[in-house]
Amino acid sequence: MRLFILIWFGQLVSLLGSGLTRFALGIWVYQETGSVTLFSLISLFTMLPSILLAPLAGVFVDRWDRRWTMILSDSGAGLSTLAMGLLLLTGRLEIWHIYLAVGVSSAFSAFQLPAYVALTTLLVPKQHLGRASGMVQTADAISRLLSPIIAGVLIVTIQIQGVILIDFLTFVIAAIALLLVRFPKPKTTLEIHKGQGFLLSEAIYGWTYISTRRGLLGLLIFFTISNFFIGIVSVLFTPLVLAFTSATVLGSVFSLGGVGMLLGGLTMSTWGGFKYRIYSVLGFTLLNSLCILFGGLQPSVPIFFVTTFIYFFGVAIINSSDQAIWQSKVPLAIQGRVFAIRTMLAWASLPLAYLIAGTLADRIFETLLAVDGPLAGSLGQIIGVGKGHGIALLFVAIAILMILMVVGGYLYLPLRLLEAQLPDAIHDDVSLTKKQER
């Protein structure tokens, strides 16, 4: 656990830096253009390269040294961030430069994420995987909590280019943390030879492992659908809040969400979750659906604060529980391939969500609840009319669909009984040799 904590700290620092840049650039693009569509494209380019490269990245993660994979990934992402900062400093930064830079960083993340998860499984005993996943969620929460506050101060004092430079330095710190430690080598198992051969066949084996286990396949489909809905909500949340208040209050809302996620992560870090973690996934997804529903029915600053706090508390529990399920059910030797395919398919719906979010908001739902819109006299009496209320109506529709999704997931027995029916796969894999690698 001590090695994991050191690596976790380096990744926490890196997350803080990335959060600063993400918040600052998001506000800058939206305020400069006023376009929800252009704003949502940042999210698209943040995800799409990582999704497309995931299958091949997973193969290389299983072939390569996972520590050096993370070091090179952090270094590549840091250099792309530095290039964006230099363009901004010289006054040459354009929106397409931002799309390109976040796209390059996303490509490196395709390698970094499965390597990080597999490395966690290597270092952490099986009984503590829930706690380790909770720590990862805690790091994400700290970033969400502190980044908006710090970014708001830094933008005024050192401007956006200074924020980007700090982000680059945090990547360096994460890489140094990985360089300073020596990692144990995993015990060689027969699983490492399964699916080996041509690059494509190795990539496909990750899908074969999932598709032949109905519970894991059901969990993957559940998150693919859920991510589509959450993708739309995440893109439109900033425009929704800015329709009712200022960017300063928006930062406070995000920070309170970070507090909720921090508490959720700390809860998982100390508790570890239920014996059957699937109940946490289903139960807290239902709770988060209700948060989206109330936020849409009564769009106001107090409601945003309350629902955002509860929502992100649930996100930490959901993600920690889901991660621990996969880590315990997939052999360590093939986790790179399996997790990469899982990431690609679970996130495959996000680009579509990001693409249609702006169109749904600008051209359909906002017009429905305009002051003289078609639904102003009916649903407008409940939700309200004017700027932002159409997005709120879209939130209501998404929440209802998510509630139906949770009910369907609970009724599907292979998913609900996943942990009881599918035996653990890592009890032998975590037996480590004493040989160390430098």
Q: How far apart are CA 322 and CA 274, in angstroms?
A: 12
DSSP character string of 50-95: HHHHHHHHHHHHHHS-HHHHHHHHHHHHHHHHHHHHHHHHTT---H
Q: What pLDDT, on the 0 to 100 scale, is given for residue 190?
A: 47
Q: Is residue 426 part of a domain?
A: no
Determine, yes or no, domain membership for 432.
no
Domain count, the chain: 1
* pTM score, whole prediction: 0.70
Whole-number pLDDT of residue 285: 94
Query: According to the model, what pLDDT value does residue 112 have?
Result: 76
Q: Is residue 188 part of a domain?
A: no
> Tell me, what's the pLDDT at 54?
74
Give pLDDT, residue 431: 43
CATH of the domain at 139: 1.20.1250.20
**Residue 197 backbone zone (phi > 0: left; psi -120 to 50: alpha; other: beta):** left
Which has the closest alpha carbon to 27: 151, 173, 111, 210? 151
CB 364, CB 334: distance < 8 Å: no
CA 182 to chain centre: 28
Q: CA 409 to CA 406: how far, in whole Å?
A: 5
Per-residue tokens: 102: 């976040």
The predicted structure's pLDDT at residue 194: 52
Tokens 């918040």 locate to 23
Domain that holds residue 39: 2-179+199-421
Q: Which pLDDT score is estimated for 429?
A: 44
- Each residue's pLDDT tens digit, 208-235: 888 889 999 999 999 999 999 998 998 8
The whole-number pLDDT of residue 244 equals: 84
Give the amino acid at 390: G
| 288, 296 contact by CB (below 8 A) | no
Residue 184 covered by a domain: no
38 close to 95: Cβ distance less than 8 angstroms: yes
Is 75 inside a domain boundary?
yes
pLDDT digits (tens, 9 = 90+) for 35-79: 666 766 777 777 778 777 777 777 777 777 777 788 888 788 778
Backbone angles phi, psi at 436, to 5 degrees: -110, 150
Which structure tokens are listed for 238? Answer: 């900033």
Do the bridges between strand 432-437 and strand 183-186 make them parallel or antiparallel, or are there none, so unpaired?
antiparallel
CB 299 within 8 A of CB 244: yes
131: in domain: yes
> At residue 241, what is the residue type?
V
Residues of the chain with pLDDT under 50: 188-190, 193, 195, 428-438
Q: What span, in angstroms and rounded, lies between the C-alpha atoms of 111 and 217?
A: 22
Query: Does some domain include residue 12?
Result: yes
438 domain-assigned: no
Which of 216, 194, 203, 209 shows the shortest CA–CA distance to 337? Answer: 203
Cα torsion angle, 349, 350, 355, 361, sign: positive
